[in-house]
Amino acid sequence: MPDDDADAARLSRLYEGHVPIATAIEQLHLTRYQRIERVILMNLIGVLRPLYWLVRRLRGRPFDVTAGLEEFAQVANPTRGTRTKESHGGDHLTAEQVATYERDGVLGPLPLLTPEEAAAHRAFVVQTHAADWHGDYAIGKAAADELKRNGLWAINHGAIWQERNVPEIRAIAQHPVLAQRLASLIGDDVVAWRTQMFVVEPDTKGTFWHAATTFTEDGDLPALTPPPGMPAAMANVSCWIALEDVDVDTACLRIIPGSHSDVRLDTLIRRFSRDRLGFVMHFDRADRWNALTALRYTGDIFLAGQVAFDVALRLLPDLYESIEPAHYPMRAGECLLFSSNNLHGSYPNRTSEPRLAMGIRYTSSDVGIYAGQPTIPYATGVGTTEVDTTRLRDGVPVHSAEGPVAARDQ
pLDDT at 410 over 50: no
pLDDT at 218 over 60: no
User: What per-residue confidence (pLDDT) applies to 7?
Assistant: 63
- More confidently predicted of 272 and 409: 272
How far apart CA 250 and CA 347 sit, in angstroms, is 7
Name the band, by pLDDT with cuts 50, 70 and 90, for residue 157.
very high
pTM above 0.85, yes or no: yes
**Residue 168 belongs to a domain with what CATH number?**
2.60.120.620
Domain membership flag for residue 22:
no
Rounded Cα distance, 330 and 116, in Å:
15
Q: How many domains does the chain have?
A: 1
pLDDT digits (tens, 9 = 90+) for 123-136: 999 999 999 999 99
44 inside domain: no
Decide which of 296 and 252 is more confident: 252
> Considering the domain boundaries, does residue 53 fall inside one?
no
In terms of average pLDDT, the best of 159-173, 221-235, 272-286, 395-409 is 159-173
In sequence order, what are the residues at sequence separation of 6 or more whose Cβ sits closer than 8 angstroms to the Cβ of residue 281?
45, 48, 49, 52, 53
Per-residue pLDDT at 2:
46
Task: Domain of residue 358: give its range.
Answer: 75-262+320-409
Q: At what angle do helices 32-58 and 285-297 cross, to 10 degrees?
A: 120
- Highest mean pLDDT among 60-69, 359-368, 377-386 belongs to 359-368
Q: For 24-78, how does the pLDDT look when each residue is reduced to its tens digit (9 = 90+)?
A: 888 888 889 999 999 999 999 999 999 999 998 888 888 888 888 888 888 888 8
Helix (H, G, I), strand (E, B), or coil: what is residue 204?
strand
pLDDT tops 90 at residue 106: yes
Calpha distance 387→334 (Å, rounded): 32
Q: Is 407 a residue whose pLDDT tops 70? A: no
- Give the CA distances from residue 365 to residues 96, 362, 388, in Å, rounded to whole numbers and listed in that order: 25, 10, 20
Tell me the C-alpha distance between 309 and 287, whole Å.
11
pLDDT tens profile 232-244: 778 899 999 999 9
DSSP track, 227-243: PTT--GGGS-EEEEEES
**pLDDT band with cut points at 50, 70 and 90 for residue 1:** very low
Average pLDDT, the chain: 87
Taking Cα atoms as reference points, which of 356, 406, 360, 410 lies closest to residue 91?
406
354 found inside a domain: yes
Give the total residue count for the chain.
410
| Secondary structure of residue 306 in the 3-state scheme | helix
For residue 380, being part of any structural domain is answered with: yes
Cβ proximity of 98 and 79 under 8 Å:
yes
Q: Is position 294 within any domain? A: no
Mean pLDDT, residues 149-175? 93
Instruction: Compute the average pLDDT of residues 340-363.
Output: 91
Question: Is the pLDDT higher at 93 or at 24?
Answer: 93
CA distance 396 to 244: 26
Helices (H), 85-197: 85-88, 95-104, 115-130, 141-149, 155-158, 167-173, 176-186
Where is 368: in which H helix or E strand?
strand 368-369
Of the chain, the percentage scoring pLDDT greater than 70 comes to 94
Residue % of the chain over a pLDDT of 90: 46
d(CA 198, CA 111): 19
